[in-house]
Chain A
Amino acid sequence: SYDLTQPPSVSVSPGQTATITCSGDTLGSKYVSWYQQKPGQSPVLVIFLDTKRPSGIPERFSGSNSAITATLTISGTQALDEADYFCQAWDGRTYVFGTGTKLTVL
């Protein structure tokens, strides 16, 4: 099976840049999407096609993907960005989700 690995937790100070990684074999050759999930809520798509933001997602959210690592970057992190973040890709047979990263804004 295809695995996408994320760090369990990332901490950032308000106003700083948060970086969340997602690693998988030849991930750079696949498209990656990212989701934000706040407690008790459904996931929300924040990045698709590696780098694109859906309508309504703030510009401080950006994505990149290369080689074996995709990265979600949140610039000028705000308290309301505190949430779990998941990456997702298609492995040829199934949609695969990452293990998830809890972002804490201290």
Chain B
Amino acid sequence: HLQESGPGLLKPSETLSVTCIVSDDSSSHINYYWAWIRQSPGKGLEWIGSLYFGESPRYNPSLKSRVTLSEVTSKKQISLRMTSVTASDTGVYYCARHPSFGATGEGFDYWGQGTHVSVSS
């Protein structure tokens, strides 16, 4: 079970912070990649970046300059920070699990319910 949380409403130029908590009874979360993916009416689904506990995050090059992914292993928590938001950053932000990274083709097999983010003045 993945549960995202976020601020809901932001103003342009502010910093977005959203968090995902992985709820399970094991430590299996350290064996998977955890991605942030957003969905907006204008851009559809967009991969933001992925994180593997203990490794450097991987980012979408188009967002890399504004995005930071981080983890708190003991809390099974993955966080996304995005600076200088604009209206085009409005959408639903999902965290999702994937077993491996890159061209391996295994897909995103578990998704959270998503957290709605709206950027408006």
Contacts and interface: CB of A to CB of B under 8 A. Distances in A.
Q: How large is the interface on B (under 10, 10 to 19, 20 to 34, 35 or more residues)?
A: 20 to 34
Chief secondary structure at chain B's binding surface: loop
A31 interface: yes
Contacts of B53: none
B103 A30 contact: yes
A48 interface: yes
B47 A33 contact: no
B105 A45 contact: no
Q: How large is the interface on A (under 10, 10 to 19, 20 to 34, 35 or more residues)?
A: 20 to 34
A49 B109 CA distance: 12
B104 interface: yes
Interface of B: 35, 37, 44-47, 60-62, 94, 102-109, 111-114
Question: Can you list the 10 inter-chain pairs with the closest CB atoms, starting with the nearest?
Answer: A31-B105, A33-B107, A97-B45, A48-B107, A95-B47, A42-B111, A49-B105, A90-B103, A45-B107, A94-B60
